[in-house]
Amino acid sequence: MLQQLTERVFVATGGTNTGVILSDDGRVVLIDTGLNDTHARKVLRIVRDDLGTEIRAILTTHGHADHFGANAFVVKRTNASVHAPDVDEMVLRHPLMQAVMLFGGADPVDTLRTRFLLAEDGPVDGLLEPGNQVLEGVELDIVSLAGHSMNQMGIVIDGIFFCADVVFPDATLEKYRIPYLYGLTEHLDALDFSLSVACRQVVPGHGPVEEGIAGSVERNRAVIDRTITALLSILDTPKSTDQICVDLFTVLNVPVGDDGGYFLLRPTVAAYLSHLQRVNQVCTDIANKGVVWRRT
């Protein structure tokens, strides 16, 4: 489970990958704690038994429960300090906000209050800001990868690029068909930017460690292009957001298991629509007291 990448950089692989970094005082800084206590317990055991040290701090790349879900568990047992990006950090302190945002800002339905979306709340001690810096005894470069979340950050240490969810592995693209996005305009920039990050190896939030990010960026972009093409063809006639969702999920064979699954996907479709409106490919009309989208 523990893979060593450089003298001081390790990754504890799992459903969500956890970076394990040796700091200048011999203690460890974690990058993302993962979804739950089961994963965090394994990471704690590795740090104590295999590396013979303690956890000093947690760096959280973004405010999604599968990345910070075990923060509270780790903090209780180690008193580690927590750093997270501005805006996203609010979700660490108030995890319900993730479901609230997915549900359009309203009191979310119970099917969005799952363990996958609703983590235990935990503290935030400092903000992750872009730039080259020494943080918790580790020299690192923090880069903005906003788009997948409002303010997602990537972290580069010793030529290892922890790129969070700017890309998803093939298995995820294949299974979910339209990966979650907060904003497509910024996400496209983040994908381009990722190609310019000098690194020897890439540790994505999910999936195997890669030698470079180019192949993964290309496959993730292909999924976006496929989604845009399908959306534009659906919008040959004006449609409401919900009708667009139904048509798009049908055309792209997107699995929708329950209402929670639908509400999780709907904001991503809205992110595509606001981007396409920004680049003047679609626009809105008011029809029969509702908003419909159409091609320009």
Smallest Cα–Cα separation from 142: which of 158, 156, 161, 163? 156
Residue 27 or 64: the one with the smaller Cβ distance to Zn ion is: 64
In the complex, least distance from residue 67 CB atom to Zn ion, rounded to whole angstroms: 6
Binding segment for Zn ion (CB under 5 A), chosen from 85-93, 115-123, 164-172, 284-292, is: 164-172
Q: Where are the alpha helices (DSSP H) in 31-167?
A: 37-45, 65-68, 71-78, 88-93, 96-102
Residue 165 or 210: the one with the smaller Cβ distance to Zn ion is: 165
Residue 51 carries which side chain, given as an amino acid letter? L
In the complex, least distance from residue 233 CB atom to Zn ion, rounded to whole angstroms: 28
Closest-CB residue for Zn ion?
64
Binding segment for Zn ion (CB under 5 A), chosen from 61-69, 112-120, 121-129, 251-259, is: 61-69
Binding residue for Zn ion (CB under 5 A) from 32, 88, 89, 165?
A: 165
CA distances, 106 to each of 60, 150, 179, 274 (Å): 26, 18, 22, 20
Of residues 62-121, those binding Zn ion (CB under 5 A): 64
Residue 89 or 165: the one with the smaller Cβ distance to Zn ion is: 165
Binding segment for Zn ion (CB under 5 A), chosen from 34-42, 90-98, 159-167, 242-250, is: 159-167
Outline where DSSP puts E strands in the chain: 2-4, 9-12, 18-22, 28-31, 55-59, 81-85, 126-128, 131-135, 138-144, 153-157, 160-164, 201-204, 282-287, 290-295
In the complex, least distance from residue 22 CB atom to Zn ion, rounded to whole angstroms: 26
CA distances, 290 to each of 60, 241, 259, 296 (Å): 40, 10, 22, 18
**Phi, psi angles (nearest 5°) of residue 282:** -135, 165
Residues 6+ apart with CB under 8 A from 80: 30, 55, 56, 57, 58, 74
Residue 116 or 262: the one with the smaller Cβ distance to Zn ion is: 116
Residue 64 or 266: the one with the smaller Cβ distance to Zn ion is: 64
Residue 165 or 186: the one with the smaller Cβ distance to Zn ion is: 165
> How many residues sit in the footprint of Zn ion (CB under 5 A)?
2
Q: Tokens representing 179?
A: 């990966």
Q: Residue 20 region, left (φ>0) first, then alpha (ψ -120 to 50), else beta?
A: beta
Binding segment for Zn ion (CB under 5 A), chosen from 58-66, 101-109, 116-124, 277-285, is: 58-66
Residue 78 or 122: the one with the smaller Cβ distance to Zn ion is: 122
In the complex, least distance from residue 210 CB atom to Zn ion, rounded to whole angstroms: 18
187 in contact with Zn ion (CB under 5 A): no
User: What is the widest separation between alpha-carbon atoms in the chain?
Assistant: 67
In the complex, least distance from residue 65 CB atom to Zn ion, rounded to whole angstroms: 9
In the complex, least distance from residue 64 CB atom to Zn ion, rounded to whole angstroms: 3
Residues at the site binding Zn ion, with contacts judged by CB under 5 A? 64, 165
